[in-house]
């Protein structure tokens, strides 16, 4: 018996297993206890098995309704428990939650094996797939049927019994290894603390950064100023701290997370995951794991993904070398007797930005309070898609800092619930993301609207000062809100293709294009107002921001593309026997001509996207989608940022989820093939 997570034995009602009494059936977080989860998972899995067994044992000939519809409607309890648990495990993790996760991953893997390796169930789906043209299905149903067929094939349905058993074992081991990777990364990140007690070591840091560090120290019951590896803490330190040795310490700690030769080291786990992924791909008939993953994406092949990345890499590195030269010139002019290093880049970039554009974060942030930025994102959605957001105080939340909103359409019809969780916690992993607590469903008499959450890590309010965002954080809020809109506006029937359940390299289109409204001058004037005076952001400041929009683009593009190439190349290897991620990173760096002053956006040991998330062989998708979003936004610029016809046409892309062919529908919207040069124009990497 797992003592910390034993099932509820005190006869208390497990509210995870009963209907919610909250508005819209929202999760009742305040009524759940950690001890509830294992019991709820066990019952949810048992119910799902019974429902699948009923489909398998149905003596009638397979039809779309008695097979695919039945599969889509199965496992409602398990879906509920999984959505709540895995979301909370990312944003409010505890050791007890991790223990539950380690217990349920093998259970869920075994359930997937029972479903996707079941010969009788696959036979029903295969029969439907072979007669698809005769079933009079609409496009959404055809796509759902194709998706199930491929899911079964990729889940091992065509393997023999010995191979199925091995694949099931591989999937279990991968799942547990990914949990271990994520836990190590979180632990290593939390272990670093830079405590400054001599105020001289704060030289260069803006007042708001100092105050946040002072608050952080108080929260930890220590004297002085505390800096951590959370981005709102470490990035400003790298940008402004005059103390070069302390910058080096923070920089190395950030990029070496998971690679400190301690109990949290991720190198052996990476090799284990890569080896297991390779074996899985080969079992399923693919040359490498990269080929396996890309087969179901828009890119289709490693060659196509690599071609895109290399087309961006060359101009990015050329620009980065120019940027490095300019930064070295500042160092030399100041009498610095050292060569530019990675821990200098952020610091001297801020100096150059200020000298070149008379611009720094201290000028910008007072106009971008979190409250105003969120209101700006809401207003853009209202103008574009005729939706509005109403604050609700009667919907349960899982932390006091979380806010909830009801989303309504133009006729005040309920569309969704939106949760906003914006501030760092020691129990929350780093980064920013969107997920669903409740998925959309519209089948027969079952109609469920989605409940969507945005999770970010912005600097919290301090004293009388509200949370103030820099321009990158402002873009992040709009980015994640773009994902949220994709989830909230969905109008499909089947959960398999609702919301963000689209091809992986299509999903970022909706988040990345939404960023563009955040920084459009006419939009900024509507929401960027000084948090004290309520003064609208001056045109002179907007002009400076516009002129500096491509500043440092070589660095920003280079670190992103390098990480995407690392992800792709790492999964093309055919023998991991002697694989060492440090050595491999250096080999890729040398082959690319990647300048040493810039680091991969994520080094292997802290690359959570690919080793504990869903982005393995998928990090390139940000750039693949950027081709689409830059091209699409140019149409808005031509016709007007809030042109009703263009917005209505784009809204169809948001609403369709994965129920239609994405490239066909994109070309319908755009009227032409996507233009890849739009990305290079946007990043200022080509001149026309």
Rounded mean pLDDT of 332-342? Answer: 97
Domains of the chain: 3-158 (1.10.1370.40), 192-255 (no CATH), 267-359+554-611 (1.10.1370.10), 366-547+621-682 (1.10.1370.40)
The proportion of the chain whose per-residue pLDDT surpasses 90, expressed as a percent, equals 91
Q: Catalytic residues, which ones?
A: 480
Of 319, 170, 134, 346, whose CA–CA distance to 254 is shortest?
A: 346
Rounded mean pLDDT of 261-271? Answer: 96
DSSP annotation of 455 reads E
Note the pLDDT of residue 312: 94
Residue reference for tokens 């979003």:
629
By the 8 A CB rule, do 389 and 407 touch? yes
Confidence at 6, pLDDT banded by 50, 70, 90: very low
Dihedral of CA 476/480/483/485: which sign? negative
CA–CA dist 119, 60 (Å, integer): 17
Note the pLDDT of residue 463: 87
Q: Which helix (H) or strand (E) holds 558?
A: helix 553-570
pLDDT in tens, 461-495: 988 999 999 999 999 999 999 999 999 999 999 99
Q: H helices within 202-339, ranges in order?
A: 207-219, 231-240, 244-255, 267-283, 289-294, 302-333
By the 8 A CB rule, do 157 and 119 touch? yes
Confidence at 4, pLDDT banded by 50, 70, 90: very low
Confidence at 187, pLDDT banded by 50, 70, 90: very high
Note the pLDDT of residue 361: 87
CA–CA dist 78, 84 (Å, integer): 10
Note the pLDDT of residue 11: 64
CA–CA dist 578, 502 (Å, integer): 36
pLDDT in tens, 223-247: 999 999 999 999 999 999 999 999 9
With 80 as the cut, is the pLDDT of residue 380 above it? yes
pLDDT in tens, 508-526: 999 999 999 999 999 999 9
pLDDT in tens, 89-107: 999 889 999 999 999 999 9
By the 8 A CB rule, do 392 and 586 touch? no
SS (H, E, C) 113-164: HHHHCCHHHHHHHHHHHHCHHHCCCCHHHHHHHHHHHHHHHHCCCCCCHHHH
Note the pLDDT of residue 51: 97
Note the pLDDT of residue 8: 54
Is pTM beyond 0.85? Reply is yes
Structure tokens at 363: 């000028």
Note the pLDDT of residue 2: 37
Cα angle: 216, vertex 238, 598; to 5 degrees = 140
CA–CA dist 367, 531 (Å, integer): 6
Q: Could you give the count of Cα atoms lying within 13 Å of 285 in the half-sphere of its Cβ?
A: 9
Residue reference for tokens 């409250």:
371
What does the mean pLDDT of the chain come to?
A: 94
């Amino acid at each position: 018996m797992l003592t910390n997570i034993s099932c509820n034995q005190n006869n208390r009602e497990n509210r995870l297993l009963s209907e919610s009494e909250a508005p819209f059936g929202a999760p009742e977080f305040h009524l759940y206890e950690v001890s509830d989860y294992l019991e709820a998972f066990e019952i949810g899995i048992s119910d799902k098995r019974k429902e699948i067994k009923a489909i398998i044992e149905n003596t009638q000939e397979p039809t779309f309704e008695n097979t695919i519809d039945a599969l889509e409607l199965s496992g409602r309890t398990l879906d509920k428990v999984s959505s709540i648990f895995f979301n909370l495990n990312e944003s409010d993790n505890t050791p007890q939650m991790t223990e539950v996760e380690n217990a349920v991953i093998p259970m869920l893997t075994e359930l997937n094996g029972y479903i996707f390796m079941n010969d009788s169930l696959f036979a029903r789906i295969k029969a439907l797939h072979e007669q698809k043209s005769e079933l009079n299905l609409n496009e959404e149903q055809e796509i759902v049927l194709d998706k199930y067929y491929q899911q079964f094939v990729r889940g091992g349905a065509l393997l023999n019994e010995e191979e199925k058993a091995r694949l099931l074992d591989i999937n279990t081991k991968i799942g547990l290894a990914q949990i271990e990777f994520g836990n190590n990364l979180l632990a290593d990140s939390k272990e670093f603390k830079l405590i400054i007690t001599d105020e001289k070591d704060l030289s260069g840091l803006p007042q708001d950064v100092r105050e946040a560090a002072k608050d952080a120290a108080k929260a930890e019951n220590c004297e002085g100023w505390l800096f951590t590896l959370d981005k709102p803490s470490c990035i400003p330190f790298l940008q402004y701290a005059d103390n070069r040795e302390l910058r080096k310490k923070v920089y190395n700690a950030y990029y070496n997370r998971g690679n400190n030769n301690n109990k949290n080291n991720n190198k052996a786990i990476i090799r284990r995951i890569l080896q297991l992924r390779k074996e899985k791909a080969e079992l399923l008939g693919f040359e490498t794991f990269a080929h396996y993953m890309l087969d179901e994406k828009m890119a289709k092949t490693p060659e196509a993904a690599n071609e895109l990345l290399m087309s961006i890499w060359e101009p990015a590195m050329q620009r980065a070398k120019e940027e490095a030269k300019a930064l070295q010139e500042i160092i030399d002019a100041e009498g610095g007797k050292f060569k530019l290093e990675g821990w200098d880049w952020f610091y001297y970039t801020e100096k150059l930005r200020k000298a070149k554009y008379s611009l720094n974060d201290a000028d910008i942030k007072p106009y971008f309070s979190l409250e105003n930025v969120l209101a700006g994102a809401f207003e853009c959605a209202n103008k574009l898609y005729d939706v509005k957001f109403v604050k609700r105080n009667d919907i349960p939340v899982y932390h006091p800092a979380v806010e909830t909103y009801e989303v309504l359409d133009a006729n005040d019809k309920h569309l969704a619930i939106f949760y906003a969780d914006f501030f760092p916690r020691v129990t929350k992993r780093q980064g920013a993301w969107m997920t669903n607590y409740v998925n959309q469903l519209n089948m027969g008499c079952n109609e469920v609207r989605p409940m969507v959450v945005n999770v970010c890590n912005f600097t919290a309010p301090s004293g009388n000062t509200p949370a103030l965002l820099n321009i990158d954080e402002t873009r992040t809020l709009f980015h994640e809100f773009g994902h949220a809109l994709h989830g909230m506006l969905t109008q499909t029937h089947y959960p398999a293709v609702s919301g963000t359940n689209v091809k992986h390299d299509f999903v970022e289109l909706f988040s990345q294009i939404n960023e563009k409204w955040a920084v459009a001058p006419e939009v900024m004037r509507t929401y960027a107002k000084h948090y004290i005076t309520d003064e609208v952001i001056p045109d002179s400041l907007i002009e400076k921001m516009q002129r500096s929009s491509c500043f440092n683009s070589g660095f920003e593009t280079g670190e992103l593309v390098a990480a995407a190439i690392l992800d792709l190349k790492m999964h093309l290897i055919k023998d991991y026997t002697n694989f060492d991620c440090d050595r491999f990173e250096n080999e890729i760096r040398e082959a690319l001509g990647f300048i040493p002053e810039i680091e991969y956006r994520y080094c292997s040991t802290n690359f959570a996207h690919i080793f504990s998330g869903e982005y393995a062989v998928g990090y390139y998708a940000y750039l693949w989608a950027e081709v689409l979003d830059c091209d699409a936004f140019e149409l808005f610029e031509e016709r007007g940022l809030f042109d009703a016809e263009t917005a209505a046409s784009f809204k169809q892309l948001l609403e369709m989820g994965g129920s239609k062919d994405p490239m066909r529908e994109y070309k319908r919207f755009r009227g032409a093939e996507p233009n890849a040069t739009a990305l290079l124009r946007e990043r200022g990497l080509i001149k026309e």
